[in-house]
Chains A and B, each alone.
Chain A
Amino acid sequence: MAKPPDDQRLELLQGTLDMLILRTLQWGPQHGHGIGLAIRARSDALLKVETGSLYPALHRLVKRGWLKAEWGVSEAHQRAKFYRLTAAGKAQLLREQDRWSQLVDAIGRVMNPEPAGKE
């Protein structure tokens, strides 16, 4: 996995981490480390989630009832806590996705008539 230099990495926009976690878990239960890796991989390593933000966010989502946590064993035979999307979490993901695309759309229209491309 090629790592981009640190100055190319993007800061997460405030409030998007929850959405990213929910989206990541749509593919199935995963532990914290796996979620972090998945977000990094899917963003081509442009987004890096700090564990210091990831874990509190996971717990916050569990507390709100959008995720469910249970202990399990990782593929590497390690005991780990797996997070799974609940029904309420799925609904929340849909809401956040809608909001996000509206936001992107709106900001894009202001900034630039051409579609925003990846660097």
Chain B
Amino acid sequence: MRPHDDDLDDEIRGHLAISIKERIERGEDPASARLAALKEFGNLTLTRDSMRSVWRYGWLDAADALARDLRFALRALLRARGLAATVVVTLALGIGANAAIFSVVRGVLLRPLVNRDEDRLIYIRQSAPGIGAENMTFSMPEIGDIESRATTVAAFGDFSTVDFALTGLGIEPRMVKAGVVNGSFFDVMGLHPVLGRLINRKDDGKDAEGAAVLTYRFWTTALNSDPTVVGKTIRLGVRTATVVGVLEPSVPYPTDTEIIANVVTSPHHLGATMVTRRTHRMTELFGRLAPGATVEAARAELTAAYAATVRAHPEAYSPRANVQLKISRLRDQIAAPARAILLVLLAAAAVVFVIACSNVANLILARSVRREGELAVRAALGAGPGALRRTLLAESLVLCTAGAVLGIALARPLVAVVAQFAARFSVRALEVTIDTSVLWVGAALAIAAAVLLAYVPRLPSPQAPAGLGLASGVRITPGTNRRLRIFATTQIAFSFVLLAGAAMLLTTLVALQTAHTGFDMRRVVAFDVPSAAAGESDIDFYQEATRRVGRLPGVEGVALSMFVPWRDAGSFGPGIQFAVDGYRPADGEENPRARFRVVSPRFFAVMGVPLVAGRDFTDEDRDGSELVVIVSQSVAQRLFPNGEPLNRHMWWTDPYFGSKVARRRIVGVVADVDDESIVRGPSMAIYQPVRQIGVAGRLFVRAAGDPYALVPAVRRTIHELSADQPVERAATLEDIRSEVLSPDRVNAFVFSGFAGIALLIAVVGVAGVLAFSVSARTREFGVRLAIGSSPRHLLARVLSEGMAIAAIGVAVGAVGGLALAGAAGKFFDHVQVPGALPMASAAAVLIAAAVGASLMPAARASRVDVMQALRSE
């Protein structure tokens, strides 16, 4: 239907031809006929354009207008570069932070696993809230009970984490995190090999050959993706195994293992303790739902079965422990530790976005007030409200698009940072990459911001007397003023929430970092010198190693233990029950629990832990001599508040130690040290001599000078004794503690980053609002000065306006934040509310920042030149 442009030209040409011909026929000469016809026709181009515009469709029309508006907006913004840059950077921060956090949230919490039918996979755990054990894992008899009663679960796979000393494959002997699995594990998990095969049912039982599967990460990083690896023989501790295959890339759970082997590779797994003892818990249980069964059905069935098991074996489940069976989708289980922190970060990013938007809204609002004159002129020239809105929309679209582009560019490095951070909570974060979803998020946020911003400014109303708007000078209507202040207050309120949160994390962190631990943190370096096979060790080797390391120059002392403070936290469970002569638990009270520690003579001296009473262990406390222990001060004080603990006898009552319990004499009392938790608590601990237990594996060296300078010499000395002995993870206690604290530190760091951005934006916002309000009220200030106000009075007045915005913002933020925390507390455990100190410091920072931001505008107000101000309009 729509005529071609040539068609229009033809039509005009035809018209002219007819007109000329007629004139010639009337007797005019051709040249003047032609001129007259052209003159009569008028503006050719304009006519053709209006003919063409008749045919334009609605949206084409709109697109054309928009393109025009965009060009116009670009030119207008280029004239206001400072404002445009502020807006773009502010939006970019908001959009970038959101896009980055969203990619990580999506990658960690929402993306499906690679496992076949991953939504049918469940993870089963046994928790004992009564004794603070979130996940006790299972013993083999317990797994047998569950398996025999389940109909809703088609198959179970079990997995126990062990540490193997790996030799072979042409790499340095070292400890590897390994998993020992039954034959159905990989089938249940729905994973495939990239090379060779995985472990299957034929690998079960004690007569099978040792078989090991390498994880993809181990194969690619440690072995350079060696294609010939399948079929090679490796030594895992005391047993050998053949590498049968390489696992496809998948989320390692429950631990980041490097090798997964069959049961026969771990002598411990074939032992009677493992097979028959109900309380020997070290295995994790996975299941694949039977066809048609739901997670809820499985939960109901297995919980009922479990309750029966608990009733049948009261000796294995203490009532105080309050054991429970927990079943969750594997994906949720893997994401669980990261969920809360990621959602908090997402909320923080959203808050930053709101702050950024309100700040930008303020800038735009101020700008639009300044250009009310321009808008009024355009309205007077016939631009309807739609057209004016479109102009504003075009401007905000240009700004927001630029902000989004910059924000997405910013998101790329941010994703890496946030993923590193989230990796401390969930291994899945390591696979997070930036993808197109970021673009969508960025675009959606930009559009949301653009539309919001376009509707912020007031349009000149058609009813309003045009003269007002057309007059030069800026006036702020009360409505605009209120809006400006509301946006500024919003920013302060949201910034306060972030600042208070950050302050809380920082105070906690500072408290943790400066806490006194009871150890000599800087001069002691700890080594992992794991015994060749778990549970078995040659104590003479350790004795000799200690002796030789002790002779190295610069070494002040050497000691052995089986536990590196904090780094090995949790590896021995929540404490073991014991009894002591002369202490009878009250009725209904269970036997006390204490940490089971094994140390060599001079351990306390090396670690800087003072001996409070009695004696240290000596080399004479060995196999065959009298069994002795040293207790921590907490044990002494709790059990014998008035009496003398020395020379009394204690014995372990946990069934793990069997029925023939040895009585041990208390020979010493040492100061309390909490080597389990970062937040120091009372620490009941009982130390036993290395030579009477026969377990070691951790070497502590006290240095006279720089502790790290000793590391190569220590390693060399031990390798002289045994070339295959791994000597790993050398670090001072201080560094170990920092390492353990690093999630807290990163948490505080990331959150403070958000709070810092928010504070910066809010300060810019408050300063901007006041500066604008002052510049628009020059006349008012002039009048005030003329009728006798002192400049100082005006200064105080503007400062107090800034203070008022900040104070109201802080109050709203505090009330809203506490309400939010209350609401969040209903959905999440462990919602912390900042204490008085962080809240007060956040408020102080914000108010100080607001005062600082008000200073310049206030100074300007007080310096207004009366005559100029009065003459200005």
Interface of A toward B, CB cutoff 8 Å: 31-34, 50-52, 55-56, 59-60, 63, 69, 74, 76, 78-81
Contact = CB atoms under 8 A, between A and B. Distances in A.
A50 B22 CA distance: 18
Given A51-B42, A52-B43, A76 B54 contact: no
B200 interface: no
Given A59-B54, A80-B18, 19 more contacts: A33-B18, A50-B42, A51-B47, A52-B43, A52-B46, A55-B50, A56-B47, A56-B50, A56-B51, A56-B54, A59-B51, A74-B14, A74-B18, A76-B18, A78-B14, A80-B14, A80-B15, A81-B11, A81-B14
B378 interface: no
Contacts of A51: 15, 40-42, 47
Given A55-B47, A59-B51, A59-B55, A79 B42 contact: no
A52 B42 contact: yes
Given A33-B15, A33-B18, A59-B55, A79 B10 contact: yes
B114 interface: no
Contacts of B863: none
Contacts of A78: 14, 17-18, 21
B21 A60 contact: no
**Chain B residues touching A, range:** 20 to 34
Given A56-B54, A59-B55, A79-B10, A31 B47 contact: no
11 contacts: A31-B15, A32-B14, A34-B18, A51-B41, A51-B47, A52-B41, A55-B12, A59-B55, A63-B54, A76-B18, A78-B17
Contact of B19 (A33, A60, A63): A33
Nearest to B7: A81
Interface string B738-777: 0000000000000000000000000000000000000000
A102 B244 CA distance: 99
Nearest to B42: A52
B411 to A, nearest CB: 47
Contacts of B55: 59, 63
Interface string B63-77: 000000000000000
Nearest to B53: A56
Contacts of B22: 76
Contacts of B19: 33
The 4 closest A-B pairs by CB, nearest first: A80-B14, A56-B50, A59-B54, A33-B18
A52 to B, nearest CB: 5
Given A63-B54, A63-B55, A78-B21, A55 B14 contact: no
Contacts of A52: 41-43, 46-47, 50
A110 to B, nearest CB: 29
A81 B10 CA distance: 9
A90 to B, nearest CB: 20
B799 to A, nearest CB: 60
A75 to B, nearest CB: 9
A31 to B, nearest CB: 7
Contacts of A69: 3
B552 to A, nearest CB: 98
Nearest to A48: B40
Interface in B1-37: 1, 3, 10-12, 14-15, 17-19, 21-22
Contacts of B46: 52
A32 B53 CA distance: 18
Nearest to B43: A52
Nearest to B47: A52
Contacts of B3: 59, 69
